[in-house]
Structure 1
């Protein structure tokens, strides 16, 4: 499968980028043992470096976690420009159909406060499993009945409630979800396809997370932000929102990480180099660098996000407008990126069963590795092709839910087989460890999913 190219291409030196800077970035990320999934660098509106680490591919549209927030913010801007509501509207008025009691502080929260993560809350605990399962607009009856501890419009607290609320305000005021609005008004004109947006337990689009989008779709959207909301001479995003979303609306200097302590806009972070970005858990980045007229997209699986940005600033920034290095070999290197497969032995022919208290497995050889049947506690009965020295793709299936994966495996010790299962729709992976005593277990590789351990159907660690 090929992915539509949404942006023109150029060689790095043609737009004033020394390829050595991209090499240095790749070297630095590898030296820090950052597990990367994709990289795309755009300058002057042209893609100059792009790569995905196999088994990830350009056409995959993974979960980008809180990078979704920037997209949700743009949908709010569209709705406001259409006259559906205003930035100064209060939540108690927008939810008047369900709110029957709200204190004086909660009654002051406006749409603009939600955009700036300045709702007055001081803890990220308003969105929780209990309230998220309430039907319709009932969660806001509960949320707005609880007084924030801080000052709306001034107290910053990064919280999911704010963006979740924005998504519901858009839906109720326009009759369309933030995803539907963006597909119609932004994604389709830009050629961005293959997106989806996860919902909460009551089937409301999350807003604060849940967007699945291809790396080039991220790059095309953030290039639109850099271009002031205009593409091919057509205004797609309203001037007021474009101007205000990238302004610093609230201070964030209590955060320890430097690039999270530079202030917050409307669902974007300011950085230490004069630009701004949307980002999501575990290394999903859309970085706007106005001084360089550049956009950088990274997707990854890491909890050390500041280190990723440290490496970008140290390695990549100096490459702009620097004399290029001849014979760079960058295209070949980017084309050969891959995650390491499980190192070990092929082993003898096998047909064995394993189990623990929540999972059962059967491992059988085939010509290219193994077939692993995995029955889990969630009702999943998965038949996975596992490669030896290579990644083989497949799908894990539960009732009403699927997860695309890739797997590699090997015998790593006497009587110890390991399969590495990588989610292609989310920045997560796990190991299946099977031993010759008939036992088995799973363990996360790197960060495990936020929220319930069963997110995307992946079994919890045993």
Structure 2
């Protein structure tokens, strides 16, 4: 069933095309790489663009934006009387606690679903999300009475997913498909929800299109109805879109200290709320003005995401008029041309092409390497390693390099091939990876002035980038793998390994 969102000119909803064009230009600031952007008012999309090779149909990592899909599932389950928000977590997971012979702090026993929704679990630190993360959650020491103090806790959000599975017999995506996705026009076959090794749909494991996220924001803006059909009780949305806990001491930029609802944040403009994922994955909701915005980007922490919000506030939210503006066909045409013209910068091109001395098959001598994307905040390993599909996650024992006048091809012993353009062009390709549905990429390669062979892989299901640097030496081929963190203090997860040429 087609459920296309209507489109309109910005002037129809109280913004000028020039203002929107100025917003797009300002979004291209120095602390981010934009991937996708949409905005709608009164249910009509008035601007949308993707930075090529990103495109509308590609799902993109949501990071903690996905918590809002989780909260929505909790609301639906509550509506279906599968749970209530004041149920205690220790009662829901009594069997798991008994199996692990855990002795719980009395405060731990008082944690409710509502406390988890509002990030007021009361724990002194973030629970370990590796291994037995359900047991780790209950074993984490308490510092505060539940419900009294905000402390960000992604493990708690994963526990909400475990509740859905426990109470409904279905994982999050399976549960939400007929109850949410099909009702608001999200293509469930394309939407990706990565699983933990224990089979539970994980957080931060959602990948959605920019429009999928806009639709969720629109549902919240509508108070839970879609095209006249009630999807979820309005009272749940009133509670979700309200400050349930103040957080003035949160270690965030200004928009991270304005209060928190149900797995979403209050903004510095009164009455505005947002779904929020790391590195600037946003869904902005302004019910009073019937305005929603969806944005995917790769913003450098700690300042980049806030700068993007400030751009949206300055150029859109604070410019919004209550009445339509006169049509401006020339300005609208210029805006639509600008939207279509957005693209990532081309890759660097070497002054000379790599020669045939790089061609060959190599065997790993020390450790291994891999080109796949990672999410690794400073001081933390790859958070997405748990989401790799074991049957597709093959350690690399050997690989080959092949040079042509236009391409560098890296062929892995698993059969996967990554082709990189030598002319700097970012061409979308696909490779079989440990994330089976998330193999879209665009790669470039060059011979550097230092004589190394550099391959840059932009993973198009997120802001992710992997840089592989091959260096010839008497000992063999040194491979330096750099995976982008998007953190100004520590920008890469780096690993070095060695391979030798087969003869």
The TM-score, its normalising length taken from structure 1, stands at: 0.87
Q: Report the Cα offset of residue 460 of structure 1.
A: 4.9
State which of 340, 346, 363 in structure 1 corresponds to 2:345: 340
Structure 2 alignment gaps of length 5 or more: 370-397, 498-503
Partner-residue secondary structure (3-state), 2:32: coil
Q: Report the Cα offset of residue 230 of structure 1.
A: 0.5
Partner-residue secondary structure (3-state), 1:413: coil
Q: In 1, are the aligned partners of 2:39 and 2:48 still within 8 Å (CA)? A: yes
Q: In 2, are the aligned partners of 1:416 and 1:435 still within 8 Å (CA)? A: yes
Distance 1:323 1:435, change over 3 A: farther
Q: Report the Cα offset of residue 374 of structure 1.
A: 4.5
Q: Do residues 32 (structure 1) and 35 (structure 2) align?
A: no
State which of 419, 437, 447 in structure 1 corresponds to 2:486: 447
Count of aligned pairs: 439
- Alignment partners' CA distance in 1, 2:410 and 2:215: 40
RMSD: 2.7
> How far does the alpha carbon of each residue in 1:49-103 deviate from its partner, in whole angstroms, 9 at most, with x for none?
1011111111001121100001100000000111111111111111122223322
Find the counterpart in structure 1 of residue 128 from structure 2: 127
State which of 409, 416, 423 in structure 1 corresponds to 2:459: 423
- Alignment partners' CA distance in 2, 1:346 and 1:203: 49
Q: Do residues 300 (structure 1) and 305 (structure 2) align?
A: no
Find the counterpart in structure 2 of residue 136 from structure 1: none
Find the counterpart in structure 1 of residue 106 from structure 2: 104
> How far does the alpha carbon of each residue in 1:255-281 deviate from its partner, in whole angstroms, 9 at most, with x for none?
241101011000010000120001111
Distance 1:76 1:128, change over 3 A: same
Find the counterpart in structure 2 of residue 15 from structure 1: 13
Find the counterpart in structure 1 of residue 194 from structure 2: 198
Distance 1:330 1:399, change over 3 A: closer
Q: In 1, are the aligned partners of 2:282 and 2:294 still within 8 Å (CA)? A: yes
Distance 1:349 1:270, change over 3 A: closer
Distance 1:364 1:4, change over 3 A: farther
Q: Report the Cα offset of residue 235 of structure 1.
A: 0.4
Moved more, 317-326 or 23-32: 317-326
Q: Do residues 260 (structure 1) and 256 (structure 2) align?
A: yes
State which of 281, 284, 288 in structure 2 corresponds to 1:284: 281
Q: Do residues 94 (structure 1) and 92 (structure 2) align?
A: yes
Q: In 2, are the aligned partners of 1:40 and 1:297 still within 8 Å (CA)? A: yes
- Alignment partners' CA distance in 1, 2:33 and 2:176: 30
Query: What pairs with 1:112-261 in structure 2 (closer than 5 Å)?
Result: 112-124=114-126, 126-132=127-133, 139-140=134-135, 142-193=136-187, 194-206=190-202, 208-255=203-250, 256-261=252-257
Q: Do residues 405 (structure 1) and 406 (structure 2) align?
A: no
Q: In 1, are the aligned partners of 2:347 and 2:426 still within 8 Å (CA)? A: no
Q: Report the Cα offset of residue 373 of structure 1.
A: 1.3
Q: Report the Cα offset of residue 446 of structure 1.
A: 5.1
Structure 1 alignment gaps of length 5 or more: 133-138
Q: Report the Cα offset of residue 166 of structure 1.
A: 0.9
Query: What pairs with 1:299-448 in structure 2 (closer than 5 Å)?
Result: 299-302=296-299, 303=301, 304-321=304-321, 327-328=330-331, 329-345=334-350, 347-348=352-353, 350-351=355-356, 352-353=358-359, 357=366, 358-359=368-369, 362-366=400-404, 369-375=406-412, 380-387=414-421, 388-398=423-433, 401=436, 403-413=439-449, 415-435=451-471, 438-445=477-484, 447=486
Q: In 1, are the aligned partners of 2:480 and 2:495 still within 8 Å (CA)? A: no
Q: Report the Cα offset of residue 247 of structure 1.
A: 1.4
- Alignment partners' CA distance in 1, 2:47 and 2:459: 24
> How far does the alpha carbon of each residue in 1:215-251 deviate from its partner, in whole angstroms, 9 at most, with x for none?
1111011101101111111001122311211111111
Q: Report the Cα offset of residue 151 of structure 1.
A: 1.2
- Alignment partners' CA distance in 2, 1:404 and 1:29: 24
